[in-house]
Chain A
Amino acid sequence: MNRLMIEAPQKGQKVLESLYADMQRRIGASPLGLCPVDMSLNFLRMCHAQTCGKCVPCRIGLQQLAKMLEGVLDGTQEEEVLDRIEVTARTIVDTADCAIGKEAAQLVLRGLQGFRDDYISHIRYGRCSYGLELSIPCTAVCPAHVDVPGYIALVKAGRNEDAVSLIRKDNPFVSVCGYVCEHPCESRCRRMIVDDAVNICGIKRYASDHAGETPAPVCEASTGKTVAVIGGGPGGLTAAYYLARMGHRVTVYDARRKLGGMLQYGIPPYRLPKDILQRDIEHILSAGIETRMKVEVGTDITLDEIKSKYDAVYVSIGAHDDRKLGIEGENGEGVVSAVEMLRDVGKGRNPDMKGKRVVIVGGGNVAMDAARTSLRLGASRVTLVYRRRVMDMTALEEEIMEAQAEGVEMRTLMAPDHVELDREGCVAAFWAQPQIISNVGSDGRASVRKADAEPVRIPCDEVIVAIGQSIRTKPFEEGGMRTVRGRISAEQSSFVPGSGNVFAGGDAVSGPATVILAVAAGKVAASNIDAFLGYSHVIRSDVQVPEPFLNYTPACGRVNPSGREIEHISGDFALVTKGMTREEAMQECSRCLRCDHFGYGMFRGGRCETW
């Protein structure tokens, strides 16, 4: 007589578990523009299938909610139903016994608030107010709308030069983005429904690494119009590049010695080697762009002078100033900001950290860069202090993993308390207050609160602060531009209201963001400046994308980037991540489902051939 048994899942349960995993990926791969009411209904149905059936609100209420939503979608309901839906859902939230019912009804309530307009559109007009606008998920979610399936098809055909040329229609930073793009394009890749997202970023790097020499862009006939771009980072250079291609005379002003902005002075070379950045900058300049280096607006020239000298101005100054912690001891010797430290490294003035114990404060990509750079500068111990958990860090997961692998110690749930200085005023230790993870806020992130514990002392020689960047807006405020919360305020078209001829974009407007967002902003600015100058130039690529043949390949793992072995990290600033081999690149290309052709793409395209 057995009292207990080893529990093994039944075959059916095993299959169901794998179906859960498939559905999770599938939901992740939802294209933009689905009907939110229809999705709510189907989520609700799934929730209802999870009901145990004990309690009334969950067992019956969810079913009734589903029927009402169905009525909305079928056009058989009047507007009063919205009240009934709300009352029912609220009752379920209030009276369901467990999370299964409560959260399911909550989901309906959130939708009722969040997209009430669509509910009403269905009821009144029998129509959904949402719709698939760009049918290719990767192209749709890429801020610059790069023709992803197009260039993947070209790489697959061995036409790397054409791939690069096609990408440059939307993004002149092909190489840079091949190395450091945050690749939002992969987040909705339809291939996730089959197995996993295509490694789009890696394919781009492969294309740029293997393209060889590419010709300078052909520019339109000169318009005689002049444009000044203030700030030669990714956004400014993108705008400059397209404006030059449109035939305008462009001059880029930059405060520093070299172009590239944060790409030059922020991203360390082990992630983005300087020659890779130079490759893109050289192509951009080959469009015929003038540069004025080491000219700072506000010091060397005023905004008004530039405004009067040029027909239009694009302000893309980025976010290069640091933010302070606001704690005791912050001004002591040995406390530096991450942007400052990384900028010094970018200039080739490597600070000496040999044998030092370094504390990094922050959990973003800049914090990871600072931490990993400190290791390379010879630090003996690097400790990263962060208020929340590793999973809450804003840095890319792969950056965090690489930092940990290289030996960065992560001390999470530690809020900065004060910096302890020695008698000479130099850093002696960093004090942190332990935190406890707490309620989830309206943004979906778990907040923290002070834990019932004493502050912790972390002995160290250097503190590097990486808690965000700010924008040096003063010279522009003096030039009459409005700022909101430390950012330049501009319309969605990039136009700065009331300025007459000034446009602004990138980090300076949005706050610190990514390369591809800066590129997208530069594109928007170029297009609208062109219109402002009275033209309607069209940017296109002559590259013909190969038509796909049947290429539905069986489920296959994704090629992930692999790292180089690092023997002695101190002093090793060489590139860490290896590029794909030809074999890997071809396999990865063949995983692309060609959404530009199959499915909705065939009907409605979605590829932006011109802009």
Chain B
Amino acid sequence: MVNLTINKIPVSAPENMSILEAAEQAGISIPHLCYLKEINEIGACRLCSVEVKGEDALVPACITRVQEGMEVVTNSPRVRGACRTNLALIMSQHNGHCTSCVRSGTCQLQQLAEDFNLIENPFYEDLPAGKLNWWNQEFPLIRDAARCIKCMRCIQVCDKIQSMKVWDLMATGGRTRVDVAGSISIEESDCTLCGQCITHCPTGALRERSDIDAVQRAIDDPDVVTVVQIAPAVRTAWGEYLGLSPEKATVNLMAGALRELGFDYVFDTSFTADLTIMEEGYEFLHRFQWGDMEKYPMFTSCCPGWVRFLKAKFPELTDRLSTAKSPQQMFGAVIKNQFADRIGKPRTKICSVSIMPCTAKKAECALPTMRDEGGNPDVDYVLTTREVVRLMKRGGVNAERVAESDFDAVMGDYTGAGVIFGATGGVMEAALRTAAYVLTGENPAPDAFRAVRAEGPADMPWREDRPWREAVVEVGGVKVRAAVTSGLRNAEALCSAIVSGAVKYDFVEVMACPGGCSGGGGQPILGDDVERALPRGGVLYDIDRNMEVRYSHENKDVQKLYEESLGEPNSLLAEALLHTDHFGWDMPGR
């Protein structure tokens, strides 16, 4: 520990701690914008400049380590003036039309401008125009160069967390800007659409394509039946924007709100999560018993960001993906087929919407393999958690007042196993529960496979050189070698180890976003740089723990679906409806 003073207040802090962190610990906040702990410590915005006795110039608090006897001043006129000037300079290159920005209210720049009373900016406005501000507005990921403040966070997140390096700095000098790396457009890049750059952007420079208006039009169309499904991880976070606790903001409350908005049918994606487990679990057992895992494992396929990653970076592993569709797409297929028949509507008159914690889902539902022969998609629109809250607000739906509602019958049942899909390790755990049952005819203890969970910060990140969790689990007397990871940099390390033969597994779960869907790129952004994936995942494990039924194969409606139409898992009909061909589309440039 070293002793220093900040604004004359004695502070002690561990060696190597930054002045910024030491000050925060002591309850003194220093304004900052580009800094993102361990990801973007580059001192670019200079808003955190402070006085250090003995130094001529101000020094950046985020990247300067504390030293014994240091005397730091964070509140002098010189410091405040410098911060304000730099803030005004940043604002001069930022489109400050906050009223038309999705991040109004959660924008870190907006907050700082307010804190510093930056009502008028003395600097000339200097915004990119023309080609430099062009973006394909149809792409699921939208970038607004005029709102980018060049903090470099997106570059660093995409590189250090996701290893994709989609973003880079372009040009030098005063024209330096962030753009897609290499001389290509975003459509031509390997972007997995994970959305982590969006959730780590301090401003509104990055966002998902908004599909709210299209969904609203479908709701408003009396000829169209609107069917909505809600993904497991959405329930952990949607209340964050409304100031509701997870206990209050239940999925049933959301179901009630969506009914009030005018959706005709409301379902829980956890239902098809259970269905996925049946299909993927049986597929795994088949392939496992064939000896198909000699060389490479079977990978989960429910995360579209991960599938895009795999097809871009390890195309040779494409056939190792489970052919089971993701729960979203299974639900879409069931809605546009069985359900359409049941309610006697042609599929073109059904608008199938899903609420997802995810941006990659917007691309998944548009894949050529996820539509019927006439081109009608199984899922028409995907709204992120952020968008659905916006839809509720504009519909005047007050979540405090709305009553909880059950899901619609027939596909309304779900189990704890389906719910934990939204947390890293959840798919694996749910699959193992059912696999054990299939092999032995008896349910294992529900928490028998908790070794693959990441429940606290201690479980994540994993070891530097082996960034994944592994467990050899006894499933009905057979040893299954399982591995679980999340975050694409970790996935890259795992895939490389698998390809090189350094490690061997039978079943591997990968989620593109750190912590799984609860930390998804479509989840709420509160602008406080707090990573919430793990606590949100904890909400899902709590739900699982309190569920009466915790095994996918015990889902009554899933059982009924097999009895009434599908027959058994991996039957011909199930294959046609619930499985997909991962070779049926290509990543760009391949």
Contacts and interface: CB of A to CB of B under 8 A. Distances in A.
B183 A550 contact: no
B172 A35 contact: yes
Nearest to B134: A126
B37 interface: no
Interface stretch (B53-61, B98-106, B430-438): B53-61
Given A33-B172, A128-B175, 15 more contacts: A35-B172, A35-B173, A39-B173, A74-B130, A74-B132, A74-B175, A126-B131, A127-B170, A127-B179, A129-B183, A131-B169, A131-B172, A549-B64, A552-B56, A552-B57
B182 to A, nearest CB: 9
Interface string A113-149: 0000000010001111111100000000000000000
Nearest to B57: A552
Given A121-B183, A129-B183, A550-B64, A38 B130 contact: no
Query: Dominant SS at the B interface?
Result: loop
A127 B130 contact: no
B172 A128 contact: yes
Contacts of B59: 550
Contacts of B146: none
Interface string B555-576: 0000000000000000000000
A75 interface: yes
A129 B175 CA distance: 13
Interface residues of B, number: 28
Interface string B41-55: 111100000001001
B131 A602 contact: no
Contact of B173 (A34, A547, A554): A34
Interface of A: 33-35, 38-39, 73-76, 121, 125-132, 547, 549-550, 552, 554, 602-603
A127 B52 contact: no
B233 interface: no
**Nearest 3 CB-CB pairs, A to B?**
A75-B131, A128-B171, A126-B131
A211 B59 CA distance: 34
Contact of B171 (A127, A547, A550): A127
18 contacts: A33-B172, A35-B171, A35-B172, A38-B171, A38-B173, A74-B130, A74-B175, A76-B129, A76-B130, A76-B131, A125-B183, A126-B132, A128-B170, A128-B175, A132-B172, A552-B56, A602-B43, A603-B44
B173 A603 contact: no
B52 A550 contact: yes
B302 interface: no
A549 B59 CA distance: 11
B141 interface: no
Contacts of B44: 603
Contacts of A127: 170-171, 179, 183
Contacts of A38: 171-175
Nearest to B41: A602
Nearest to B175: A73
A34 B264 CA distance: 59
Nearest to A39: B173
A178 B41 CA distance: 35
Contacts of A128: 170-172, 175
Nearest to B43: A602
Contacts of B170: 127-128, 131
A136 to B, nearest CB: 15
Interface centre among A34, A126, A550 (most CB of B within 10 A): A126
Nearest to B67: A549
Interface in B1-56: 41-44, 52, 55-56
A24 B76 CA distance: 37
A39 B130 CA distance: 22
Contact of B65 (A33, A39, A76, A549): A549
Contacts of A132: 172
Contacts of A76: 129-131
A75 B172 contact: no
Contact of B152 (A125, A554, A603): A603
A34 B183 contact: no
A75 B173 contact: no
Nearest to A125: B183
Interface centre among B42, B52, B55, B172 (most CB of A within 10 A): B172
Given A75-B132, A550-B55, A602 B63 contact: yes
Given A549-B67, A550-B55, A602 B42 contact: yes
B72 to A, nearest CB: 12
A535 to B, nearest CB: 15
Contacts of A129: 183
Contacts of A602: 41-43, 63
Nearest to B16: A547
A126 B129 CA distance: 11
Nearest to B54: A550
B405 to A, nearest CB: 50
Contacts of B56: 552, 554
Contacts of B175: 35, 38, 73-74, 128
Nearest to A604: B169
A127 B174 CA distance: 13
Given A127-B171, A128-B170, A132-B172, A603 B42 contact: yes
Contacts of A550: 52, 55, 59, 64
Contacts of A35: 171-173, 175
Interface string B138-169: 00000000000000100000000000000001
A38 B171 CA distance: 9
Contacts of B183: 121, 125, 127, 129
Contacts of A34: 172-173
A126 B44 CA distance: 24
A246 B192 CA distance: 38
A601 to B, nearest CB: 10
Contacts of A131: 169-172
Contacts of A130: 172
A35 to B, nearest CB: 5
Contacts of B131: 75-76, 126
A121 B182 CA distance: 11
Nearest to A127: B170
A549 B2 CA distance: 15
A554 B57 CA distance: 11
A193 to B, nearest CB: 15
Interface centre among B43, B131, B134 (most CB of A within 10 A): B131
A93 B183 CA distance: 34
B275 to A, nearest CB: 45
A129 B169 CA distance: 12
Nearest to B44: A603
A33 B57 CA distance: 28
A75 B128 CA distance: 9
B179 to A, nearest CB: 7
Contacts of A74: 129-130, 132, 175
A95 B19 CA distance: 61
Nearest to A75: B131
A126 B173 CA distance: 15
A23 to B, nearest CB: 16
A279 to B, nearest CB: 37
Contacts of B171: 35, 38, 127-128, 131
A603 B155 CA distance: 10
Nearest to B133: A75
A550 B170 CA distance: 29
Interface centre among B41, B52, B129, B173 (most CB of A within 10 A): B173
B161 to A, nearest CB: 16
Nearest to A554: B56
B130 to A, nearest CB: 5
Interface centre among A33, A38, A554, A603 (most CB of B within 10 A): A603
A547 B65 CA distance: 10
B53 to A, nearest CB: 11
Contacts of A547: 65
A163 B176 CA distance: 35
A554 to B, nearest CB: 8
Interface string B504-543: 0000000000000000000000000000000000000000
